Structure 1
């Protein structure tokens, strides 16, 4: 099967090439959009990433070109119109499991870097300023950790926090049967907001989680609490977050994702002007630590993503549903 890889970037190409096997693949660093959809002509399948646009109008164009298979290189699929895909007979498959540890460990890394002021400390050392006055953090041991979403990533993060001696609570409409053995207690969302010193988001973005962290949610959080988001930017209402930070309603935020990141992340914008005032406010706020959606970026995760992507494609080529089919016509 001939496959076009949209949003193909240097860090992942060796992993994709290794796992492609007999499949003919072509790379393009362009993102899937109405402007780039023409590149799919002549291919049987395409593969896309989180910044690609698989909205209804784009799927219409892909369907006209004969594209029947789209392999996502991500667990999330909020960038895909699944209902439209089903109507058009386009099969969609994702990568739900690659390395939950990659994202969970990145969330923990961001928390510790923010808490122990690692970036500030390095800057002061470079200036030969060895005062410790502005570098005070807090112990994770004994703190209450709230986890929103207890899939594999959420559970991996829970274990890390328990390793620090944190008391873990969780909120999820579907309770993980392994949670009880780890002594994780499920509580309602509002109670999670009220009790937690640290809240980490590990749920998907959909109609029920869009802007879940709103003005109201932030008003219920502890004034020194830390929010971590390594899931999807749209789960957090950015203006509400900025309001909470600027008015001392919460203590800080560690963000690996951003609501409007598709216009910014995964590309070189060094010679461009980023006209996004919300993003500028986040970057300039000393209570915010931002990374560019790199939580998944480990060798193990990239290997898993590439393997499952071509496992899905191989199933389609063999006439079967993909291993991780999302939309079956």
Structure 2
């Protein structure tokens, strides 16, 4: 059986080749993202296509894949907002994903961004390397006793909450489904507006869909405390970048940490160090001294990549044999 991988990086090849030894699939890796520009290059005999967050599986792309005999779309990520699920269902293509891969990896990265922004360790590192040991401009605040608001208390949100509770934070949460184990640990579930109003720190851990696109925008930002810290390791489309920039300029948002960006498909996972970046909004964000941007690396740990490879290959193996994976949450169609 042949699997075509798109948006494939060297680490994808390393981990999928390692764990494919148990299956013996034929793996083909494409560095480009999947979209109308490349879908016709899928070769005959390809039964599965494996994609990542910035691949574009539109109805047009899915129709072409179906005509070529593709039977499975495997998302090596949790989110699926980039896939036309209805068209895949109509074409009889099965879709699987990785609903949870080391949630601790993403949660720990969110905390790392928070600590870096607060204690300014990135600036201190550069200063000391230049023999500058001044503390001016490096003032931070204690996390202990601060109120942290968490939007989305799935596996990643839950892992983040446990860390923040360890710091001695008061944790407020907003989710359609309340977690009783978190409530037993002192987490208080409130409405979205109440969480915004009371939180010193706001961390986003929810999937992107039509209902929460631009969840953080001008109208929601004004409901937050002046001086709020916002961390987003979920999906870039949760933030209205223009509105966030205005709030940074006014000082309403004191710190912003993002590992995702709403137009990241043109930027992230690429070396653009020798290029002129034409995207004005990302350039404006990176010009702020109180903004930290990382390039969608929150998932990037040994444990997470191992889980992504093993879960993806196992799901494909089950589907091609006509059986269901043990975890039903991996299936979308």
- What TM-score do the two structures reach when normalised by structure 1? 0.97
Moved more, 32-41 or 236-245: 32-41
Can you list the C-alpha shifts for 1:268-302, whole angstroms capped at 9, x where unaligned? 22232211010100111112100000000000000
Cα deviations by residue, 1:42-100 (Å, 9 ceiling, x for unpaired): 21111001111111121121112111211000001111111111111111111001100
Contact 1:85–1:327 (CA under 8 A) maintained in structure 2: no
Residue 257 of structure 2 aligns to a residue whose secondary structure is strand
Is the CA contact 1:86–1:327 (under 8 Å) kept in the aligned structure 2? no
Residue 289 of structure 1 aligns to a residue whose secondary structure is strand
1:216 is aligned, of 216, 219, 227, to: 219
Conserved? CA contact 2:237–2:262, under 8 Å:
yes
Q: Is the 8 A contact 2:204 2:233 kept in 1?
A: yes
Q: Out of 76, 80, 94, which is 1:77 matched to? A: 80
Indicate which of 3, 12, 27 corresponds to 1:25.
27
Equivalent in the alignment of 1:7? 7
Following superposition, the deviation at residue 40 of structure 1 comes to 1.8
Write out aligned runs for 1:241-320 (5 A). 241-320=244-323
Q: Secondary structure at the match of 1:320?
A: coil
Q: 67, 70, 82: which is aligned to 1:67?
A: 70
The equivalent of 1:37 in structure 2 is 39
Indicate if the aligned counterparts of 2:2 and 2:25 stay in contact, CA closer than 8 A.
yes
**Cα distance in structure 1, aligned partners of 2:247 and 2:79:** 27
| 2:300 counterpart SS class | coil
Contact 1:142 1:166 in 2 (8 A): yes
Aligned-pair distance for 1:325? 4.6
Q: CA deviation at 1:41?
A: 2.3
CA distance in 2, matches of 1:163, 1:77: 32
- What's the C-alpha RMSD, in Å, of the aligned pairs? 1.2
* Equivalent residue pairs, number: 328
In the alignment, is residue 58 of structure 1 matched against residue 79 of structure 2? Answer: no
Unaligned runs of 5+ in 1: none
Matches of 1:13 and 1:327 in 2, distance apart?
25
Give the whole-Å Cα distance in 1 for the aligned partners of 2:198 and 2:37: 47
The one of 127, 138, 150 equivalent to 2:153 is 150
Give the SS at the match of 1:228: strand
Per the alignment, in what secondary structure is the counterpart of residue 12 of structure 1?
helix
Q: Return 5+ residue gaps in structure 2 as ranges.
A: none
How far has the Cα of 1:174 moved from its partner? 1.2
Alignment partner, residue 106 of structure 2: 103
In structure 1, distance between residues paired with 2:230 and 2:30: 35
Alignment of 1:226-237 (within 5 A): 226-237=229-240
What is the TM-score normalised by the length of structure 2? 0.96
CA drift of 1:318 comes to: 1.1
Quote the Cα distance in structure 2 between the aligned partners of 1:217 and 1:279: 21
Q: Secondary structure at the match of 2:108?
A: helix
Worse-superposed segment, 19-28 or 46-55: 19-28
CA distance in 2 between counterparts of 1:285 and 1:81 reads: 36
Mapped partners of 1:326, 1:310: distance in 2 = 13
Farther-moved stretch of structure 1 (318-327 vs 150-159): 318-327
Higher deviation after alignment, 273-282 or 59-68: 59-68
- Tell me whether 231-240 or 175-184 shows the greater mean CA deviation: 175-184
